[in-house]
């Protein structure tokens, strides 16, 4: 709804850039106040991550007395590594392995469940479709911590406490994935295509397998990404449901490590963990998600804007 | 929407199938999802409600579990903590996310803007326990890279920094640090959806940057701001990992019963009183459900068709 048509159309070919080309000649320096704010927030967001990377390379003494933003030494990093891995006999690897197991098995189930469901919600008709869609939206918007204590009660009642399925199955229930798939099929795949395939004699499952699934690659990646990140970073559910340290995912394991750091918990005995080891453990715990982040920026933006395409 | 292309399809094919089971394929496609939805969405909800209204001997008790929770000396302080945290968290989220998105949107160099958005987003990878651990270090004057700043505020020890009065602000810092980047990306995307002609017209008519932001961009972002506030509100009521880890690390400065979820957890696992725990869970569930339900029904965001 442009209100003013006196202006010659400004650079319509680049909708994403509000700055029309003619401004390039008279490009002003950025407003210093705005630049300052942006830089301050850059420091706020990035400094702790940078500090964490460097902290893993220091001794505890260097951490306290050295420049906070200096590199320690490779030697200290190796020492921290040795000390960390010897904590409770390689517990950190066990926890990382558990995290990987829970996250990936849940991811596989999520994809097998969510993709067909989202497809059916978008492309087929069946009784109860609308109800299911609304239920999905409501559950999707509820924070996932809401159901943790109730889930414990349920899992306890069916005697699954301590089983890995008590974590994996709740993780596999991922309404946001269903919603993303639904949005994708209902906006990006024309129904005519499905109708044409049916006309050519394809069964409903044939259509899904041979027409819809090959078109769904982007959404499989997107749902996979979000599901993986959500599962990997979940703390509350495994914290409540898993009774034994040997079953912890790394997020909960970090809490155990934190409890063994004397500076944070003076009652700790001989099994003390030094602060740089805790920093190193934190780094290890976030590395998978960080790597996924770095390689899939495009998905991120697309996924977070999924609602926008529906406007 | 029921039959997409009636003109190109002979009516016989689909309707013949519908005779014995309309929508059979659709039902099969969603079957596994419905099972999970019931098992991990519906059943726990029903179960929590059942526990909340019964006692340990499975007798119906009306609202007595709710009364017991509400009269617990920790309950109202937990409600207060969560409320205070929510105010800090929502205000900072709206002001800074919208402000930063507007600033980023005005940057003439799209490369810089893109890089900044990504860097702001990076802490999202540390969601959960990792972000709390990082901030324990940031808030400990003995190791923090900003210890000078902490000391300038008069805090010399970790204990002074994490004094109970500061906790809402500190949890806001942590939540903002991990969560704001994602919302900045969303707001930026929403700003891009505003037709450039509109901004250009405002500029030609002599609107200043502030006026453009205040009168045109922010009103057009309103829907997205509401979306963000609703989701952040629902998420914020569930505060757990931050106070839980902080209470471990601060030798009890932050109690184990700081937030409602912690209190529910404590009732279930420290007091072995799952019924009262369930009552608190039901209250939190109702908040989550009502917020989500109202939003789905009223926002126009998700027109279910």
Neighbours of B57 (CB within 10 A): 6
- Chains A and B: how many Cβ contacts under 8 Å? 359
pLDDT digits (tens, 9 = 90+) for A139-148: 888 777 888 8
Contact residues on chain B for A265, CB-CB shorter than 8 A:
248-249, 251
Contact residues on chain B for A254, CB-CB shorter than 8 A:
129-130, 133
Structure tokens at B165: 């009065």
Of B240, B241, B262, B250, nearest to B139 by C-alpha is B250
**Strand, helix or coil for residue B60:** strand
Nearest residue in A to B240, CA atom: A236
Rounded to the nearest 10 degrees, the angle between the axes of helix B129-138 and helix B167-192 is 120
Nearest residue in B to A307, CA atom: B301
Query: Does A271 touch chain B if contact means CB atoms closer than 8 Å?
Result: no
User: Given a cut of 90, is residue A302 above it in pLDDT?
Assistant: no
Nearest residue in B to A190, CA atom: B4
First to last CA, chain A: 16
Query: Does A268 touch chain B if contact means CB atoms closer than 8 Å?
Result: no
Interchain pair A235, B128: CB under 8 A: yes
Query: What is the distance in angstroms between the Cα of B195 and the nearest Cα belonging to chain A?
Result: 7
Please list the residues that pair with B54 across neighbouring strands. B60
pLDDT band at A30 (very low <50, low <70, confident <90, very high): low
The phi and psi torsions of A294 (rounded to 5 degrees) equal -65, -30
Q: What are the E-state strand segments in B248-292?
A: none
Whole-model pTM? Answer: 0.83
User: Given a cut of 50, is residue A61 above it in pLDDT?
Assistant: yes
The Cα A213–Cα A206 span in angstroms is 10
pLDDT band at A28 (very low <50, low <70, confident <90, very high): low
Query: Does A265 touch chain B if contact means CB atoms closer than 8 Å?
Result: yes
Lowest mean pLDDT among A48-52, A150-154, A200-204: A200-204
Contacts 24+ apart (CB under 8 A), B232-235: B232/B89, B232/B90, B232/B93, B232/B179, B233/B86, B233/B90, B233/B291, B234/A141, B234/A142, B234/A143, B234/B287, B234/B288, B234/B291, B234/B292, B235/A143, B235/A145
Q: Which of B20, B34, B50, B129 to mutate to test the interface with A (most CBs of A within 10 A)?
A: B129
Rounded to the nearest 10 degrees, the angle between the axes of helix A217-233 and helix A297-304 is 90
Nearest residue in A to B303, CA atom: A310
Query: Does B83 touch chain A if contact means CB atoms closer than 8 Å?
Result: no
Place of tokens 């725990």: B277
Contact residues on chain B for A191, CB-CB shorter than 8 A:
4-5
Neighbours of B49 (CB within 10 A): 17
Query: Does A40 touch chain B if contact means CB atoms closer than 8 Å?
Result: no
Interchain pair A265, B177: CB under 8 A: no
The phi and psi torsions of B162 (rounded to 5 degrees) equal -95, 30
Give the CA distances from residue B217 to residues A249, B190, B204, B224, in Å, rounded to whole numbers and listed in that order.
Answer: 43, 10, 16, 11
Neighbours of B51 (CB within 10 A): 26
The Cα A87–Cα A93 span in angstroms is 10
- pLDDT of B303: 60
- pLDDT of A114: 95
- pLDDT of B279: 92
**H runs (alpha helix) in B75-217:** 75-106, 110-121, 129-138, 147-152, 158-161, 167-192, 196-204, 209-211
Which are the contacts of B223, defined by CB distance < 8 A and separation ≥ 6? B299, B300, B301
Please list the residues that pair with B50 across neighbouring strands. none
The Cα B3–Cα A211 span in angstroms is 18
pLDDT band at A23 (very low <50, low <70, confident <90, very high): very low
Q: Are B87 and B79 in contact (CB under 8 A)?
A: no
- pLDDT of A6: 28
Contacts 24+ apart (CB under 8 A), A47-54: A47/B145, A47/B146, A48/B123, A48/B134, A48/B135, A48/B137, A48/B138, A48/B145, A48/B177, A49/B122, A49/B123, A49/B126, A49/B134, A51/B134, A51/B137, A51/B138, A51/B145, A52/A279, A52/A282, A52/A283, A52/B134, A52/B137, A53/A283
Touching A: B residues 193-212, CB under 8 Å:
193, 195-201, 204-205
Query: Does A166 touch chain B if contact means CB atoms closer than 8 Å?
Result: no
Neighbours of B53 (CB within 10 A): 19
Query: What is the distance in angstroms between the Cα of A247 and the nearest Cα belonging to chain B?
Result: 17
- pLDDT of B174: 94
Q: Which ipTM score applies to this complex?
A: 0.84
- pLDDT of B110: 78
Q: Which of B9, B186, B296 is closest, CB to CB, to A134?
A: B296
Q: Which residues of A250-289 are buried (b: 16+ CB within 10 A; e: fewer)?
A: bbbbbbbbbbbbebbbeeeeeeebbbbbbbbbbbbbbebb
Please list the residues that pair with B60 across neighbouring strands. B54
pLDDT in tens, chain B (305 residues): 344 444 444 444 444 444 456 677 888 899 999 999 999 999 998 888 998 999 888 888 888 999 989 998 889 999 999 999 999 999 999 999 999 999 998 887 878 888 898 899 889 888 889 999 999 999 999 888 998 899 998 898 888 888 888 899 999 999 999 999 888 988 888 888 888 888 889 989 988 888 889 988 999 888 888 888 888 888 899 899 889 888 888 776 777 888 999 999 888 888 888 899 999 999 998 988 888 888 878 776 666 55
Structure tokens at B212: 């453009």
- pLDDT of B22: 65
Report which DSSP code applies to A9: P
Contact residues on chain B for A304, CB-CB shorter than 8 A:
182, 185-186, 189
Query: Does A106 touch chain B if contact means CB atoms closer than 8 Å?
Result: no
The Cα B300–Cα B305 span in angstroms is 11
- pLDDT of A174: 93
Nearest residue in A to B177, CA atom: A45
pLDDT digits (tens, 9 = 90+) for A84-109: 888 888 899 999 999 999 999 999 99
**Strand, helix or coil for residue B54:** strand
CA atoms within 13 A on the CB side of B7: 1
First to last CA, chain B: 8
Neighbours of B91 (CB within 10 A): 12
Touching B: A residues 204-223, CB under 8 Å:
204-205, 208
Tell how many helices (H) and how many strands (E) occur in chain A.
16, 0
Q: Are A263 and A63 in contact (CB under 8 A)?
A: no
- pLDDT of B6: 41
Structure tokens at B294: 């109202």
- pLDDT of A191: 82
Report which DSSP code applies to A190: -
């Amino acid at each position: 709804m442009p209100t003013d048509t006196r202006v010659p159309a400004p650079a319509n070919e680049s909708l994403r850039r509000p700055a029309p080309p003619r401004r390039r000649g008279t490009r002003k320096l950025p407003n210093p106040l705005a630049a300052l704010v942006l830089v301050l927030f850059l420091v706020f967001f990035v400094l702790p991550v940078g500090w964490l990377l460097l902290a893993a390379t220091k001794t505890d003494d260097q951490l306290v007395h050295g420049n906070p933003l200096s590199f320690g030494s490779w030697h200290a990093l190796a020492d921290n590594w040795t000390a960390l891995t010897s904590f409770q006999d390689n517990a950190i690897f066990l926890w990382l392995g558990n995290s990987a197991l829970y996250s990936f098995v849940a991811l596989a189930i999520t994809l097998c469940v969510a993709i067909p469901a989202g497809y059916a919600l978008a492309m087929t008709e069946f009784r109860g479709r609308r109800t299911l869609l609304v239920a999905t939206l409501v559950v999707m918007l509820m924070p996932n911590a809401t159901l943790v204590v109730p889930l414990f009660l349920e899992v306890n009642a069916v005697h699954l406490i301590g089983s890995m399925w008590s974590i994996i199955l709740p993780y596999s229930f991922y309404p946001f994935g269903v919603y993303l798939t639904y949005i994708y099929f209902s906006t990006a795949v024309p129904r005519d295509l499905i109708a044409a395939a049916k006309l050519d004699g394809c069964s409903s499952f044939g259509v899904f397998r041979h027409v819809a699934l090959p078109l769904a690659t982007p959404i499989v990646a997107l749902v996979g990404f979000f599901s993986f990140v959500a599962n990997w970073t979940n703390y509350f559910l495994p914290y409540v449901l898993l009774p034994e340290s040997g079953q912890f995912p790394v997020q909960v394991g970090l809490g155990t490590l934190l409890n063994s750091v004397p500076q944070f918990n003076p009652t700790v005995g001989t099994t003390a963990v030094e602060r740089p080891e805790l920093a190193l453990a934190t780094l290890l715990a976030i590395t998978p998600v960080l790597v996924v982040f770095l390689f899939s920026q495009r998905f991120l933006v697309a996924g977070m804007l999924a609602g926008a395409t529906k406007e | 929407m029921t039959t997409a292309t009636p003109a190109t399809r002979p009516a016989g094919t689909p309707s013949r199938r519908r005779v014995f089971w309309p929508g059979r394929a659709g039902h099969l496609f969603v079957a596994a999802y419905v099972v999970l939805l019931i098992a991990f969405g519906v059943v726990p909800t029903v179960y929590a409600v059942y526990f909340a209204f019964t006692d340990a001997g499975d007798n119906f008790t009306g609202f007595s579990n709710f009364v017991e929770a509400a009269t617990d000396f920790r309950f109202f302080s937990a409600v207060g903590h969560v409320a205070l945290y929510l105010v800090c968290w929502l205000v900072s989220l709206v002001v800074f996310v919208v402000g930063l998105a507007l600033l980023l949107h005005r940057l003439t160099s799209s490369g810089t803007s893109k890089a900044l958005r990504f860097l702001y987003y990076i802490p999202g990878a540390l969601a959960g326990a990792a972000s709390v651990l990082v901030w324990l270090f940031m808030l400990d004057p003995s190791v923090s890279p900003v210890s000078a700043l902490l000391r300038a505020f008069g805090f010399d020890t970790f204990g002074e920094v994490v004094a109970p009065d500061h906790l809402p602000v500190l949890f806001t810092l942590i939540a903002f640090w991990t969560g704001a980047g994602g919302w900045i990306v969303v707001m930026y995307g929403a700003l891009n959806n505003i037709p450039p002609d509109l901004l250009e017209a405002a500029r030609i008519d002599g609107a200043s940057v502030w006026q453009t932001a205040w009168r045109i961009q922010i009103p057009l972002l309103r829907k997205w701001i509401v979306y963000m506030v609703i989701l952040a509100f629902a998420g914020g009521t569930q505060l757990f990992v931050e106070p839980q880890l902080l209470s471990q690390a601060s030798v009890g400065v932050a109690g184990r019963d700081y937030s409602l979820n912690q209190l529910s957890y404590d009732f279930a696992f420290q007091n072995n009183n799952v019924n009262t725990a369930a009552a608190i869970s039901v209250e939190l569930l109702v908040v989550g459900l009502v917020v989500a339900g109202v939003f789905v029904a009223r926002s126009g965001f998700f027109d279910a068709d």
